Chains A and B, each alone.
Chain A
Amino acid sequence: MGEVIVVTSGKGGVGKTTTTANLGAGLASMGYKVVMVDADIGLRNLDVVLGLENRIVYDIVDVTGGHCRLRQALIKDKRLEGLHLLPAAQTKDKTAVSPEQMRDLCGELKKEFDYVIIDCPAGIEQGFRNAIAGAEKAIVVTTPEVSAVRDADRIIGLLEAAELREPKLIINRIRPKMVRQGDMMSIDDIIDILAVELLGVIPEDEMIVITTNRGEPVVLDQNSRSGQAYRNITRRILGEEVPMMNLEEEGGFFNRIKKIIGLK
Chain B
Amino acid sequence: MLEFLTRLFSKDGGSKNVAKERLRLVLVHDRTSISPQLLETLKAELIKVISNYMEIDEAALEVSLDSSGNTVALVASIPVKGMKRVAGTA
Q: Which chain A residues have a beta carbon within 8 Å of chain B's beta carbons? A: 145-146, 149-150, 153-154, 157, 179, 181-186, 189, 193, 195
Contacts and interface: CB of A to CB of B under 8 A. Distances in A.
B61 to A, nearest CB: 27
Contact of B31 (A157, A179, A189): A157
B88 interface: no
Nearest to B26: A150
B27 interface: yes
A154 B33 CA distance: 11
Contacts of A179: 16
Contacts of A186: 16
B23 to A, nearest CB: 5
A153 B31 contact: yes
Interface residues of B, number: 18
A145 B20 CA distance: 9
B7 interface: yes
Interface of B: 3, 7, 13-17, 19-20, 22-24, 26-27, 30-31, 69-70
Contacts of A182: 13-17
B30 A181 contact: no
Most chain A CB neighbours (cut-off 10 Å) among B13, B20, B70? B20
A183 B15 contact: yes
A193 B31 contact: no
A154 B30 contact: yes
Given A145-B19, A195-B70, 19 more contacts: A146-B22, A146-B23, A146-B26, A150-B27, A150-B30, A153-B31, A154-B30, A157-B31, A179-B16, A181-B14, A182-B15, A183-B14, A183-B15, A185-B20, A189-B16, A189-B20, A193-B23, A193-B27, A195-B69
Q: Which of B13, B19, B22 has the most CB of A within 10 A?
A: B19
Ranked 7 nearest A-B pairs via Cβ: A182-B14, A183-B14, A146-B23, A183-B15, A185-B16, A146-B19, A182-B16
Nearest to A154: B30
Contacts of B31: 153, 157
Nearest to A145: B19
A232 B31 CA distance: 32
A186 B23 CA distance: 13
